[in-house]
Structure 1
Amino acid sequence: MSEEKKDFMSEPFIVKNIDYDDDEEATIVDDYNNSQGKTSFSKTCFHGINALSGVGILSVPYALASGGWLSLIILFTVAITTFYCAILIKRCMDMDPLLRSYPDIGYKAFGNTGRVVVSIFMNLELYLVATSFLILEGDNLNKLFSNVGFNFMGFELQGKQMFIVLVALIILPSVWLDNMRILSYISASGVFASGLILASIFWVGAFEGVGFKNSDSDVFRLNGVTTSVSLYAFCYCAHPVFPTLYTSMKNKRQFSNVMVICFTICTFIYASVAVLGYLMYGSNVESQITLNLPTDKLSSKVAIWTTLVNPIAKFALMVTPIIDAMRSRFSRFLPNKRASGFVLSTVLVASNVIVALLLPFFGDLMSLVGAFLSASASVILPCLCYLKISGKYRRLGFETLVLIGITLTGILVVITGTYRAVKDIFGRF
C-alpha cells in the first residue's frame, strides 16, 4: 500500500504512535496499540470487554421498555450478529498480514473510497459518542444538584446547560494530553464501572424499597421496536477497535475465543441491567436508568457517580483518533505539532459542547448513533468488506446468502432507525 494512496482520515483507531521525549519511554507501548503481537489472551479479553461495555448500559432498560419483553430476543439477535461480524473482520485480516486497522480493511476491499467511507463512519461515531458523554454528565449532575446556575455579564446558564459546559472545561486538559499510554490507563476503569453499575442497580431494587414487581410493562410494543434495535446496536459498536486487538495478540488464533468471552459477558451485563431496570420502573424508565434512581440512597449515589466518572475518563480516548486525523489533514497550516494538537483539541471539545447544548436528548442521540453509524460500521461494512475481499460475492453459497441477508437487514435498520431517531429529535423542539 503506497503512502500516496493514504487518505487524511486513514489514521488507525487508537493505534497512533506517540513520539516520546526520552528513548527509554519510547519502548513503552500500550497493549491497546501494540502492533508487535505481545498482548496475552487475558489482557485482550479485558480490552475487548472494556471496548464493548460503555454508556449503552444506561439505555438498555429504556430500549427494553420501548419494545417490550419480547425485544430481549432482538438484543440477543444483535449480539449474535455483531459477534459474527467481528469474526468476519478477523477473517479479512487473516487474508492479508499487512492490514492493521479498520480503514485498512476498507481500502483492501474497495480502494481509497472504502478507506474514506470506513473512516468517516468511524470518526463520526466517536464524535457523537463523545458528545453523548457531555449530555449524560449534564443530565445526572442536574439530577444531583438541581436549581443551580450562574449569570456572567448577562450570559445565563442554568442546570443541565451549565453542567455540560463545566464538565467540558474539566475534561479539556485530558484532551490536551499527547500520551496514549496515560489515556489508556485512565480508560481501563470501564470494565469495573459496568459491573459496579449492575450491582448498584440490583441493590436499589432488592434492598432500597423499589422492588422488581412493576406491573406497568408490555410483552411487545411494535411502535417501539425501531428504537430498541437502534439502542441495542449502539451497545455493540466496538468493531473499529477489533483490528487493533487482533494485531496486538501473541496468539492470533485465540481471537475468536476472546470474542466469545467478551460478547458473552457484555451481553449478560446488558440483559441483566435491562431486565432489572424494566422490572423496577416499567414504562416509566428514563433514557438513562440513573435518572430513575433515588438520590438519597448510597447505592444510587454509587451508580450515579460511577456513571459520571467513567465518561470523563473515556472522553479523551474517544476523541484522540479524531484529533490525530484532523492534525494530519491540517498539518500544513499548523506546523507545530504540540500547538496544533492544543488548538484542534480545544476546537473539537467546543464543538462537542455546542452540539450537546443544541441536541441535549441522550436517548434519541443514542438511537441515531446506533441506527445510522453503529449498524453501518458494525454490521453492514464488515459483511461487504468480507464479501469483496474473500471473493464470495462471485458464488452463491449458504454463507453468501447469510451475508446478503444480514446486509439487507442492516440497511433496513439504518433507514428506519435513522428516520425514527431524527423524527423524535425534531419532535422535541
Structure 2
Amino acid sequence: MKNSISEQSFYIESEEEDDEHLEKHENEEEGNESDFSNEDNNDDETNRPNSLTSAWPQSYRQSMDLYSNVPSPSLHFLGTPSLSRLGSSFFGSSLIRRHTPEVLPSLHKPLILPAEEEKAPHRRSSHGLIPPLHPRKSSIKKIPDIERPSKDAHGLPISNQSTYGQAVVNGMNVLCGVGLLSTPYAVKEGGWAGLSILFIFGILSFYTGMLLRYCLDSQPGLETYPDIGQAAFGTMGRIVISIILYVELYASCVEYIILEGDNLSAIFPNAHLSLGGFELDARHLFVVIAALAILPTVWLRDLSVLSYISVGGVIASILVVLCLYWAGLVDHVGFESKGTVLNLPTLPVAIGLYGFCYSGHAVFPNIYTSLADRSQFPAVLLTSFGLVTLLYGGTAVLGYLMFGDSAESQFTLNLPKGLMASKVAVWTTVVNPFTKFALTLSPVAMSLEELLPSKHTKSHVYPILIRTALTISTVVVGLAVPFFGLVMALIGSLLTMLVTLILPCVCFLRILKGKTSHLQVTICVFIITVGTASALIGSYSALSKIIQSMI
C-alpha cells in the first residue's frame, strides 16, 4: 500500500517539539503546489489527541492486515524489533506508548494533522454522502507519486496495493466464516419470516461499512477502526473500541474450539480417555487434542504463510455449502419438514445469529486503505456483501428445508455420516480453524505484548507465555460453555451489534458533526436504535438460554 493517507501522497514534516507552535509562513509562488502554509493549530477539537501513533494499540494495523489477508510485508512476531519499539509499562504511560527518537522517530510526528484553512490536501470522498469538508491547515507537503513514503502513518512498512479482485476476496474471507454453518439453525430459531432479518442486517451493515470509509476520509492519517474511535472520542475512545474488537476476536477463537470438539466428537463418538482418574469423553478429549495441535501455530514467528493459506477460507466455505447442496439435491437427504413461519419465543436468538454473519467491520478500514484505487471501495463492499448474503441465504433456506426443526447449531452435525459429501464437509470444517485460529488470536496477543515493560519486549519467552495462556483460556471457556449456537448468538447480539451497527454511526455523527444532512442523521439514529434493541434483546435471550443449559 503506497498511498495510505490520501489519493495524493504526503509526508509529515519534522517538528522540533510536540508542544511547540508552528510559525506562520507563506509561499505565494504561482503554479507551485508542493508547499502549503503552516500555521498554529487552534482547532476546538479537544477530543483529538496530538498523535494517533502514540496510543495503544500500535500493532492493530499490522495484525489485522494478516487477519484479513491484506497484502502485507512478512511479519515476525514474538519479540520482534517492531514490537519491541512499542513496549513500555502500561500503567506507567497511561495507555500511551513511549518511543525513543533513535528507534522510531516517525512516531513523534502528529498523525492527525493541524487544520488547513485555505487548501485541503486531505482525502475527499468520491461519493456524495457528505458535503465537502471545511479545508484544514496542515504541516504537510505534497510530493510526486514516485516519492511516496515507504511507511504508513504508524511507522510500519506500507503493504502492497490491493486490486479490486483481491479486496473482494479479502472482504468475503472476513465476512464468510463459521456463521455460515448456523444459518439453517437461525431459520429454525426465527422461522421463515425471521430470515428477513439476515437481509435487513446485510443492508444496514453495508451502509455502516460506507460510514467507516467517510470517517477515514474526513481527515488525514486515519487508517484503522481504533483511529476512528480516537478521532471521535479521544484516547479513551480508541482504547474502548480496541477492547471491544479484541474481545470479539477472542470470542471467535472460543467458537473455533467448540467447533472442533463438536465435529470431531461427531466423527469419533466413542472416543474417550482415562487419565489419572479423570474420564474425558469424546468432546472434551477432542477439544484438548485440537488445542494442542493448534498451539504450535500460535507460536509461529511468521504468520504470513498462514495468512495466505487462510484465504482458502472462502473456498472452504463454498466447498462445505456445495456438499450440503449435493447431500440434499443428489443424495436426497431430508426435505421432510416445511418448517415454521415465525417462531417468536426464540426469535431473539436468530437475531444474534444473523448479526454474527456480518462481523467484518473491524477489518474494512484496512481493506480500504490497502486498495490501489480507493474509489472502488463501494463496489468492493457491495460485491462482498452481495455474494456473502446470497451464500448465507441459500445455505439457510436449503439447510432448513432439509432438516427442519431438527437443525443443529452446525448443519455439518445433521449430515448423514456415511455419505462422501458429509465426510468432505465435516473434515473441511475441522481443518479450516487450524489456519484461522492463530490469525484470529494474534491481534489480541500482540496488543497484550505491547503492555509488557520495555525490558521484556525483546524476550521470546513472554510472548509465548501470553499466547499459550490465551489458548488455554479459550479451551477453558469452550469447555465451560460448549454451546456453539448460543455463544454465537451472544457474540452477534452484544459485540457485532456494537462493532457493525452502533459504533460506525456514533463515530460518523461525532466526527462529521455539523457536516451531515438531516437524512443522514435520521438514518444513523435509526440504525443505532435497531442495533441497541437487537443487542439488548438478543444478549438477554442468549445469556438466559446459556444459563438454563448449564444448570
Give the letter aligned to residue 55 of structure 2: K
Whether 1:229 aligns to 2:351 is yes
1:344 to 449, 466, 482: 466
Whether 1:168 aligns to 2:291 is yes
Separation in 1, partners of 2:455, 2:471? 20
Q: 5 Å matches for 1:237-252?
A: 237-252=359-374
Are 1:150 and 1:158, in contact at CA under 8 Å, matched by a contact in 2? yes
Separation in 2, partners of 1:365, 1:129? 9
Are 2:76 and 2:303, in contact at CA under 8 Å, matched by a contact in 1? no
Structure-1 residue corresponding to 2:171: 48
Whether 1:409 aligns to 2:530 is yes
Give the letter aligned to residue 262 of structure 1: S
Structure-2 residue corresponding to 1:357: 479
Q: 5 Å matches for 1:21-420?
A: 35-36=158-159, 38-215=161-338, 217-332=339-454, 334-392=456-514, 397-420=518-541
Structure-2 residue corresponding to 1:424: 545
Over 3 Å counting, the alpha-carbon distance change for 1:59 and 1:116 in structure 2 is same
Separation in 2, partners of 1:325, 1:246? 22
The alpha carbon displacement at 1:182 in A equals 1.4
Q: Which moved more, 1:258-267 or 1:200-209?
A: 200-209
Are 1:10 and 1:119, in contact at CA under 8 Å, matched by a contact in 2? no
**What are the superposed Cα offsets for residues 28-60 of structure 1, whole Å, 9 maximum, x if unpaired?**
x9xxx9745611111111111111100000011
Over 3 Å counting, the alpha-carbon distance change for 1:206 and 1:239 in structure 2 is same
The alpha carbon displacement at 1:209 in A equals 3.1
The alpha carbon displacement at 1:213 in A equals 4.4
1:2 to 46, 51, 74: 51
Are 1:101 and 1:244, in contact at CA under 8 Å, matched by a contact in 2? yes
Aligned length in residues: 419
Structure-1 residue corresponding to 2:64: 14
The alpha carbon displacement at 1:11 in A equals 2.7
Over 3 Å counting, the alpha-carbon distance change for 1:19 and 1:287 in structure 2 is closer
Give the letter aligned to residue 273 of structure 1: T
The alpha carbon displacement at 1:377 in A equals 0.5
Over 3 Å counting, the alpha-carbon distance change for 1:338 and 1:10 in structure 2 is closer
For CA contacts below 8 A with separation 6 or more, give which structure has more relative contact order.
Answer: 1
Separation in 2, partners of 1:385, 1:268? 29
The alpha carbon displacement at 1:189 in A equals 1.3
Separation in 2, partners of 1:9, 1:408? 32
Over 3 Å counting, the alpha-carbon distance change for 1:378 and 1:43 in structure 2 is same
Separation in 1, partners of 2:235, 2:434? 34
The alpha carbon displacement at 1:179 in A equals 1.6
Give the letter aligned to residue 14 of structure 1: M
The alpha carbon displacement at 1:8 in A equals 4.4
Give the letter aligned to residue 7 of structure 1: W
Over 3 Å counting, the alpha-carbon distance change for 1:396 and 1:90 in structure 2 is closer
The alpha carbon displacement at 1:102 in A equals 0.8
Separation in 1, partners of 2:519, 2:53? 39
Q: What SS class does the counterpart of residue 168 from structure 2 fall into?
A: helix
**What are the superposed Cα offsets for residues 223-265 of structure 1, whole Å, 9 maximum, x if unpaired?**
2221111101101001001011011110011011000110011
The alpha carbon displacement at 1:3 in A equals 6.3
Are 1:9 and 1:120, in contact at CA under 8 Å, matched by a contact in 2? no
Over 3 Å counting, the alpha-carbon distance change for 1:4 and 1:73 in structure 2 is closer
The alpha carbon displacement at 1:420 in A equals 0.6
Q: Which moved more, 1:220-229 or 1:45-54?
A: 220-229
The alpha carbon displacement at 1:95 in A equals 1.2
State percent identity of aligned pairs: 38
The alpha carbon displacement at 1:97 in A equals 3.0
Q: What SS class does the counterpart of residue 240 from structure 1 fall into?
A: coil
Separation in 2, partners of 1:10, 1:415? 32
Separation in 2, partners of 1:313, 1:244? 20
The alpha carbon displacement at 1:335 in A equals 3.3
The alpha carbon displacement at 1:117 in A equals 1.4
Over 3 Å counting, the alpha-carbon distance change for 1:105 and 1:251 in structure 2 is same
Report the TM-score, using the length of structure 2 for normalisation: 0.73
Over 3 Å counting, the alpha-carbon distance change for 1:41 and 1:4 in structure 2 is closer
The alpha carbon displacement at 1:96 in A equals 2.0
Gaps of 5+ in 1: none
The alpha carbon displacement at 1:214 in A equals 2.0
The alpha carbon displacement at 1:191 in A equals 0.6
The alpha carbon displacement at 1:10 in A equals 6.8
Q: What SS class does the counterpart of residue 284 from structure 2 fall into?
A: helix
Separation in 2, partners of 1:214, 1:330? 56
Q: Which moved more, 1:285-294 or 1:220-229?
A: 220-229
Are 1:227 and 1:421, in contact at CA under 8 Å, matched by a contact in 2? yes
Q: Which moved more, 1:100-109 or 1:327-336?
A: 327-336
Are 2:226 and 2:239, in contact at CA under 8 Å, matched by a contact in 1? yes
Kindly report the root-mean-square deviation, in angstroms, between the aligned alpha carbons of the 2 structures.
2.1
Q: What SS class does the counterpart of residue 156 from structure 1 fall into?
A: strand
Gaps of 5+ in 2: 1-49, 67-72, 82-149
Q: Which moved more, 1:152-161 or 1:297-306?
A: 152-161
Over 3 Å counting, the alpha-carbon distance change for 1:370 and 1:412 in structure 2 is same
The alpha carbon displacement at 1:322 in A equals 0.3
**What are the superposed Cα offsets for residues 251-293 of structure 1, whole Å, 9 maximum, x if unpaired?**
0110110001100110000001100110001111011111111
Separation in 2, partners of 1:74, 1:3? 37
Determine which structure has more spread, i.e. the larger CA radius of gyration.
2
